Chains A and B, each alone.
Chain A
Amino acid sequence: MIGRGLERALGILAVIGLLVGLYTGFFYAPADAVQGEVQRIMYLHVPLILVSYLAFFIVFIMSILYLARRRERHDAIAHSSAEIGVLFTALAIAAGSIWGRPTWGTWWTWDARLTTTTILLLIFIGYLMLRALVDDPSRGATFSAVLGIIGFLDVPIIHMSVVWWRTLHQPASILRPGAPTVAPEMQVALFTNLVAFVLVYGYLLVKRLRLEEARWELNRLRMEQVT
């Protein structure tokens, strides 16, 4: 079982990281020359997206490991990481949408990155649904592992197809919600927030892992009682 010590340590580090990140995001970094203060949402949106990619990458690796080795720990990490990944992706899209409203005038745009991220969200929501529907735990783990692998492998292909699609249909005046010209202070703010959110991810992962491992133990006990 995961030690409570690790959980607490990560929790404290995460809080410190977030506080540092808030400071750099709101005080250390200057407001953007073009977008103004609204651009500060980037210090939330970009780290959330990057960490969610990390989370899904871990799902991918753990899925392969589970199929190869069949160790419960790998499945537990995969499931936990997928849940957190979905959370972070959803929050990232929401933050991006809120950022977009004053910047581009719309809540939603079929921008390549945003579209790809949403598709990624859909794939892993499907992953979680599959998990919820399969009763037998090892079957569920196996099925999810396969889905986790093909889902992640699909992402670069999805990205390419969406980018080509957008270059075909993009109007001349491209409203790019891109990274604004990034001053060095902004890079620092971005980096500190990225570290902070990785720590948050780590903390949530450890916490979620306890739940998952308890579930595996429950299944084991139930199996023993039956036999």
Chain B
Amino acid sequence: MNPWPYVTGAYLLAAIGLLYYLVSVSRRTKAMTAQLGTLKRHAGGGAR
């Protein structure tokens, strides 16, 4: 029985999982920062 498919499978799965999460956090942060930017601009405009 060849062990390597299992070993690489496990490590690959972990790598994909971690990278996917990293991308997810980056994407969400980008979206949030954009929202923040829009709100701040409007707040600045309203205060005037």
Contact = CB atoms under 8 A, between A and B. Distances in A.
Indicate, yes or no, whether A interacts with B: yes
Interface in A184-227: 200, 204, 207-208, 210-211, 214-215, 217-218, 221-222, 224-225
Contacts of B32: 211, 214-215, 218
Contact of A91 (B17, B22, B43, B46): B17
A155 interface: no
A101 B10 CA distance: 11
Interface residues of B, number: 27
A94 B21 contact: no
Chain B interface SS verdict (over half):
helix
Chain A interface SS verdict (over half):
helix
A99 B17 contact: no
Contacts, number: 78
A11 B40 CA distance: 30
A95 B10 contact: yes
A154 interface: no
B14 A95 contact: yes
Interface string A28-41: 00000000111011
15 contacts: A37-B3, A37-B4, A38-B7, A40-B7, A41-B11, A45-B10, A87-B18, A98-B6, A98-B13, A102-B1, A204-B21, A215-B32, A217-B36, A218-B32, A221-B43
